[in-house]
């Protein structure tokens, strides 16, 4: 009896089993993680210079904002409200219930804590704040701006960002290798506000 083909058959069956095993792993583990927990995002354009450069590769946390609200200063990945097939990256400036006033070089936020307004200090910006915007945010509405204000298409142009369009925040920068790090672009919310002189008296 010729058994010369048996090892080849066993090898082929073993290969098929491995392929099935990895396919099942992808379906059970990788796909849910990619869909609901984290996914890759490639920066496109210069609206977030110098914080994020065109072509940088980020991993986006999609789960945190299901348990807590975004905070001022967070970098957000979201669906562009005027075309939800597109994804944008911007920084969160105004929160629900606040009034945001953009006037040339300044960004002022009014809220319950600062009814007369408080100017934001934004050391991450690579350009002057431009435009004249005065908007009061409703429930579930946010005001976002790019760090490179000269070229950023943001809430100054297309309006408020609805909460349901927010995808998540970058938690890891993988490329370029020289800038690998966690929570890229993160700033403390408290570092963005210049305390009014009257509060120091």
Catalytic residue (choose from 14, 47, 103, 106): 47
Are residue 84 and residue 143 in the same domain, yes or no?
yes
Residue range of the domain that includes 24:
1-37
Mean pLDDT value across residues 165-193 = 86
- Based on the fold, state whether residues 32 and 96 are members of the same structural domain: no
Over residues 103-121, mean pLDDT: 90
Which of 85 and 12 is assigned the larger pLDDT? Answer: 85
Residues 125 and 67 both lie in one domain: yes
Check residue 3 and give its pLDDT. Answer: 52
CB-CB contact of 153 with 142 (8 Å): no
Pair 3, 65 in one domain: no
How many separate domains does the chain show?
Answer: 2
Which of 11, 12, 79, 90 is catalytic? The answer is 90
Could you confirm whether 47 is annotated as catalytic?
yes
Whether the ω angle into residue 176 lies within 30 degrees of 0, i.e. cis, is yes
Told to judge if 191 belongs to the known catalytic residues of this protein, a careful annotator would answer no
Sign of CA dihedral 76, 81, 87, 90: negative
The CATH number of whichever domain residue 83 belongs to comes to: 2.10.109.10
Is 201 domain-assigned? no
Rounded CA separation 138/179 (Å) = 37
């Amino acid at each position: 009896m010729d058994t010369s083909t048996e090892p080849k058959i066993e090898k082929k069956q073993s290969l098929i089993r491995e392929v099935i095993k990895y396919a099942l792993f992808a379906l059970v583990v990788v796909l849910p993680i990619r869909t609901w927990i984290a996914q890759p995002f490639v920066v496109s354009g210069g609206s977030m210079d110098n914080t994020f450069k065109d072509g940088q590769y980020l991993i986006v946390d999609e789960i945190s904002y299901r348990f807590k609200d975004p905070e001022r200063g967070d970098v957000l990945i979201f669906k562009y409200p005027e075309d939800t097939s597109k994804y944008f990256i911007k920084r969160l400036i105004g929160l629900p219930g606040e009034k945001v006033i953009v006037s040339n070089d300044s960004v002022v936020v009014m809220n319950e804590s600062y009814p007369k307004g408080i100017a934001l200090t934004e050391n991450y910006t690579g350009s002057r704040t431009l435009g004249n915007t005065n908007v009061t945010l409703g429930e579930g509405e946010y005001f976002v701006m790019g760090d490179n204000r000269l070229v950023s298409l943001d809430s100054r142009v297309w309006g408020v960002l609805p909460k349901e369009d927010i995808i998540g925040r970058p938690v890891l920068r993988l490329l370029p290798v020289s800038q690998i790090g966690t929570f890229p672009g993160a700033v403390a919310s408290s570092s963005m506000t210049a305390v009014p002189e009257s509060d120091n008296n």
